Amino acid sequence: MDQVRQIPVFVFPTMLKFYTSSKHTHKQLITIYNPYDFTIKYKVLCTAPNKYNVTDPEGSIRPQSCIDLVVRHTMPISANCNGVDKFRISIHDNTTKQLLGKRDVESKLLVGEGDNVSEDGDNFHNLPHSDRTPEDPHHQSLLSQRQKSLQSEKTNYLAIGAAIVCIAILMLPTKIEVVEENANIPHYLHPTQTFKIGTAYALGMLTLLIFRQ
């Protein structure tokens, strides 16, 4: 008789941790995945069946699908702490019922609440709040000063650019000035005397603005 080739069993998580003082941890989920293109049957066994209840410990899973099993710890007392129990999830051929693979999931009952305990045993705690938050008036003042500085620099550059334009206009000959016939400046670039006076006034205002920055 040919031996059936074993296939991987995909289960999450690979360990369950229950805590005596946290009732919400007394009920957890085991998810069994079927990534294959055929239906499989599953069966859940346990080394300590008197401590746990499992919804639907046997059933089938359609192709490319999964199923969630609810595992309840029925005896979360300190006397049962620190021991390691195991759930064995086995999958079988849907037609022949022959074993295709198996995976064990460990289960531990620990003393305490365990809200900040990770799967690798590290303890995590809340971080202290920063002394300077976005709502801090001092922090807001620094941000406001920075924004004002950036706005001032932008205004200064614009004023310098406008002043350069004014200087260029004042250097152009006016219409009443005599222009040589071979002059390279077109006639439409000859501003009037009144326009030059206004430009000179604007240049003065821009100069004051630049030196105030």
pLDDT per residue as tens digits for the range 62-73: 999 999 999 999
Going by pLDDT thresholds of 50, 70 and 90, the confidence category of residue 163 is: confident
Average pLDDT of the chain, as a whole number? 79
Higher pLDDT pick, 139 / 70: 70
182 pLDDT exceeds 50? no
Q: What is the mean pLDDT of residues 173-178?
A: 61
The answer to whether the CB of 89 falls within 8 A of the CB of 50 is: no
Angle at 29 between CA 27 and CA 82, to 5 degrees: 60
| Best CA proximity match to 53, nearest among 80, 81, 28, 78 | 28
What is the reported pLDDT for 75? 93
DSSP output for 117-185: B-TTS-B--PPPPPSS-TT-HHHHHHHHHHHHHHHHHHHHHHHHHHHHHHHHHHTSPPTTS---TT-SS
Going by pLDDT thresholds of 50, 70 and 90, the confidence category of residue 52 is: very high
| Residue 208 DSSP label | H
E strand or H helix at 209: helix 193-212
Round to whole Å and give the CA distance between 89 and 57: 9
Going by pLDDT thresholds of 50, 70 and 90, the confidence category of residue 164 is: confident
Going by pLDDT thresholds of 50, 70 and 90, the confidence category of residue 143 is: low
Q: What is the mean pLDDT of residues 94-115?
A: 89
Rounded CA Rg of the chain: 41
Name, of 16-30, 116-130, 156-170, the range with top average pLDDT: 16-30
What is the reported pLDDT for 181? 47
pTM of the model: 0.53
Q: Would you report the helix, strand and coil content of the chain in percent, each value rounded to 5?
A: 30, 30, 40
Give the chain's domains with CATH numbers.
Answer: 10-110 (2.60.40.10), 147-212 (no CATH)
Would you put residue 73 in left (φ > 0), alpha (ψ -120 to 50) or beta?
A: beta
Q: What is the mean pLDDT of residues 22-39?
A: 93
